Chain A
Amino acid sequence: MIMTYLEAIADAMRQEMRRDPSVFMIGEDIGTYGGAFKLTKGFLDEFGPGRIMDAPISEAAIIGAAIGASLNGMRPIAEMQFIDFITNGFNQLVTVAGTTAYRWGLPVPMVVRGPSGGGVGGNPFHSRDPENWFVHATGLKVVCPAFPADAKGLMTASIRDNNPVIFFEHKGLYRKIKEDVPEGEYVVPLGQANVVRPGKHVSVICYGSAVHMALAAADTLSADGVDVEVVDIRTLVPFDEETVLASVRKTGRAVVAHEAVLTGGFGGEIVARITEKAFRYLDAPVVRVAAFDSPTPFAPTLEAAVLPNAEKLGQAIRNVVAF
């Protein structure tokens, strides 16, 4: 069935809520209003206010309550209206959720999800890509889907996972990307990268919105005879190192791309793994393409300038191939 990225996420949550009475949602304006992006439209009617719980503007209480409920047999899904607001619940995730399995040996089966990403004129407070903060936190799984089918399958896997999962939905993809999504139960296991476009000359390792930049750049470059392989890592934690290394061993060249800012981004980790474990296969230095190290600005001219795009990524790929 053809679905948007947004519909696919909603479909996964609806199906899991029908299947498992321990799954419930908590967040701001998710009930009557159906969510700021209308992702939970119709959920209140189907599941009632006991399972679609409108919460005060209190991200720490929302995430903390989700942790408590998950320690008591439930599988909460906590929505951040914009993922930027996750900073208000940071302590709950980093201090409590991410340390519980290690300290107590108890599962914390919860998902914190919300719209991330720029390119939509959001301003510095509605455009963050903060996924790597949580990679560094330990004990949290980090998921960044790029396609509707993956979004559905990864959401299903995230809800069923016994660990806290942070699920980053790129808001620019919500209604932009449509594809055929498997109906019914559909699981994409966490920790499996996907070669979304096979190629011979250079690997682009990426996730989220950068996957679409990479595919666009690959199309452009193919006219010049450059055959680009695109690897969508899909989840940052767990990280499927083997698929990435296999691609780089095959092509001998790599560009790492993400929309999040460059310094301290997950791209640095990917580069480190490649140079540690596939150095002798490399024919060129590994290059990163990412946002300029600034907050995401508001005006379209500034935002377009600081964020990566297909053209910037295409140029980086050309440079690596020409090295």
Chain B
Amino acid sequence: MTKQRRNDKATQTWSLPAAERLELLRMMIMAREFDAAMLRLYRQGKAFGGVYSQLGNEAVSVGTAYALDRTADVLFPMHRNIGAHFVFGQDLDTLMVNHLARAGSQMRGTDGTGHYADPAKRIYGNVSHLGAMIPVAAGFALASRMRGETCVALTYIGDGGAQVGEVHEALNFAAVQRIPLVLVIENNQYAYSTPSHLEFACEKLSDRAIGYGMAGVTIDGTDVELVLKTTQDAVARARRGDGPTIIETLTMRMRGHAEHDDFSYVPKEQLEEWAKKDPVERYAERLITDGVTTAESVAALRATTLADMIAAIDRAVELPWPDASEGFRNVFIDEVSA
């Protein structure tokens, strides 16, 4: 709690230009409406594969990615970080075609959802084995350093995924090598159906940082400006060569693990309590109070964003499936280097 209060104080004296605050809100609304559009598709029975909502997590996806330099740093998002893809400039049609595995997908139908990689946009998606991409992200940043460049790698894990052995190996390695890595642990209270107390026994997941010899902090993950400021500090630390940081963000997964899951194992009161801290609603209200925007503008932005999402999904859904011959290609890269 002490740490959290200190962070809140830090944001009070830290001011963000109005244009940037509006941009944060716009990105969070994109994340929110992406979910709404995907949920609509799921209910229409047209979704393919799992639909993993980020409801309640928008401030983390957006605030963390926003702290990076899109031209030099690299993003290794997880499945609930679609907001981070938008911050990194991914366009809607590319995202939807990849997500729904239609013809023209960068993954040629071999995989879907947010698993794609877009090197030009410096986005490398996850695999379903949680934690597996953390050592990969560390190695990516390490390679840049070997060439004398600075590239901060930012990646994510959940309160459940943080218990995977590879996470430990990657963090220890990154700390020893002082690799510019930022790991955001999204503690959204449930790992599928398993509550946090059955996943770990420490008070805070950021407590682990001291054991690795790196910086660690636990913050309110529903406050986008706090998330941004905290991540900027971690990124600056990484860039200075002072090593990796764990940022634990406290949020609530406001939907099931995926849409097939009715999350009846979550007490209703818990959801009601967290609903009061809705990151998108709260930030919109804050910007309205501060005179940065108006309720009408926010409502209009949400409506047009949702319409854009639905239109992009509908365009993607209308595309044909990839040709079956793609299944037999590219198991290996054919050319050999000179």
Contacts and interface: CB of A to CB of B under 8 A. Distances in A.
Most chain B CB atoms below 10 A, which of A76, A103, A141, A161:
A103
A230 B278 CA distance: 71
Contacts of A64: 132-136, 138-139, 166, 169-170
A139 B172 CA distance: 28
A221 interface: no
Interface in B49-74: 74
A107 B333 contact: yes
A65 B172 CA distance: 12
B256 to A, nearest CB: 25
B37 interface: no
Contact of B142 (A60, A65, A106): A65
Given A61-B172, A65-B173, A161-B336, A101 B139 contact: no
Most chain B CB atoms below 10 A, which of A72, A103, A107, A109:
A72
A184 interface: no
Contact of A162 (B139, B147, B336): B336
Given A50-B146, A74-B143, A95 B132 contact: yes
Interface in B132-154: 132-144, 146-147, 151, 153
A60 B317 CA distance: 38
B55 to A, nearest CB: 27
Contacts of A72: 74, 139-140, 143-144, 151
Interface in B95-150: 106-108, 110-111, 115-117, 119, 124, 127, 129, 132-144, 146-147
Nearest to B74: A72
A24 B139 CA distance: 12
A92 B133 CA distance: 9
A70 B146 CA distance: 12
A164 B117 CA distance: 18
Contacts of A99: 127
B136 A96 contact: yes
B132 A104 contact: no
Interface in A84-105: 91-92, 95-96, 99, 101-105
A138 B332 CA distance: 9
- B contact residues, range: 35 or more
A295 interface: no
A73 interface: yes
A105 B330 contact: yes
17 contacts: A50-B146, A56-B169, A59-B169, A64-B138, A64-B169, A65-B173, A66-B139, A68-B153, A70-B139, A72-B140, A102-B330, A103-B117, A106-B119, A138-B331, A139-B332, A161-B337, A162-B335
Given A59-B169, A102-B331, 13 more contacts: A24-B146, A56-B173, A56-B176, A61-B172, A69-B139, A91-B132, A96-B136, A101-B332, A104-B106, A105-B106, A139-B332, A162-B333, A162-B336
The 5 closest A-B pairs by CB, nearest first: A64-B135, A68-B139, A65-B139, A61-B169, A72-B143
